[in-house]
Chains A and B, each alone.
Chain A
Amino acid sequence: NAGVTQTPKFRVLKTGQSMTLLCAQDMNHEYMYWYRQDPGMGLRLIHYSVGEGTTAKGEVPDGYNVSRLKKQNFLLGLESAAPSQTSVYFCASSYGRQAGNTIYFGEGSWLTVV
């Protein structure tokens, strides 16, 4: 039972490089999310998706793009990485739109931009 799977787990980028973080969930969830975690700041929502083919901005969307071409996958792209994007990135998913639905998280992707 994999749940939410993220790849890669660790990555070092040079400033200006691009990369894509991959997220897959096998729970048939409609909603998917990308968060970033920085020390002392909790988790902040970058982008989210309420279904296949849809995406929306969260709290800190600048510098990131996302795509949800398949229900089970949610991709996070950095077009031109900056040191401020050094962070831990978490993908998550939930069943539906109700606020009480539990959100399930992946194991995280540690990204360093030098």
Chain B
Amino acid sequence: AQSVAQPEDQVNVAEGNPLTVKCTYSVSGNPYLFWYVQYPNRGLQFLLKYITGDNLVKGSYGFEAEFNKSQTSFHLKKPSALVSDSALYFCAVSASGSARQLTFGSGTQLTVLP
């Protein structure tokens, strides 16, 4: 079985400060890791993914995530937060050979304070 944990339900950060949204995972085999963002009353938008290669993945809107195999983590980061980054963020994982088995975390609500 595979699982994803987002340990923080809520993250608050001041505009202009760096932000981190945490994610840890458990999976058999090589992990494929994703971050999605959801704005109010909207669908999930793809931000970035890790498949293989460089542990630092760059994605949309200035976001990046760092894959750490030893800590089984895939934290989402941004050097300077914007108020418009306020949204619900989901981490997800799948394993090789099971494209249908994308498991989501419970989500982290990010609020960027002006």
Which residues of A are interface residues toward B (Cβ below 8 A)? Answer: 4, 31, 33, 40-45, 48, 50, 56, 58, 90, 92, 94, 96-108
Q: Which residue of chain A lies nearest to B106 when distances are taken between CB atoms in the complex?
A: A42
Query: Is the pair A42, B42 in contact by a Cβ cutoff of 8 Å?
Result: no
**Residues in chain B near residue A107, CB distance under 8 A:** 42-43
For the complex formed, measure the closest distance between the CB of A22 and the CB atoms of chain B, giving whole angstroms: 15
Query: Is the pair B99, A105 in contact by a Cβ cutoff of 8 Å?
Result: no
Q: What are 16 A-B contacts with C-beta separation under 8 Å?
A: A40-B9, A42-B90, A42-B104, A43-B44, A44-B104, A50-B100, A58-B100, A90-B43, A92-B44, A97-B99, A98-B99, A103-B34, A104-B46, A107-B42, A107-B43, A108-B42
**Residues in chain B near residue A48, CB distance under 8 A:** 100
Query: Is the pair A99, B41 in contact by a Cβ cutoff of 8 Å?
Result: no
Known A-B contacts: A99-B32, A101-B99. Give 4 more (CB < 8 A). A4-B43, A48-B100, A99-B101, A105-B44
B49 beta carbon closer than 8 Å to chain A: yes
Q: Which residue of chain A lies nearest to B48 when distances are taken between CB atoms in the complex?
A: A102
For the complex formed, measure the closest distance between the CB of A59 and the CB atoms of chain B, giving whole angstroms: 9
**Residues in chain A near residue B106, CB distance under 8 A:** 40-42
**Residues in chain A near residue B32, CB distance under 8 A:** 99-100
B94 beta carbon closer than 8 Å to chain A: yes
> Given A102-B46, A105-B44, A42–B99 Cβ distance below 8 Å?
no
What is the size category of the interface that chain B forms with chain A? 20 to 34
Query: Is the pair B46, A33 in contact by a Cβ cutoff of 8 Å?
Result: no
- Which residues of chain B from 28 to 67 have any CB-CB distance to chain A below 8 Å in the complex? 32, 34, 36, 41-46, 49, 51
A99 vs B42: C-alpha distance when bound (angstroms): 25
Contact among B34, B90, B95, B98 for A102, CB-based, below 8 A = B34
For the complex formed, measure the closest distance between the CB of B58 and the CB atoms of chain A, giving whole angstroms: 15
Query: Is the pair A100, B43 in contact by a Cβ cutoff of 8 Å?
Result: no
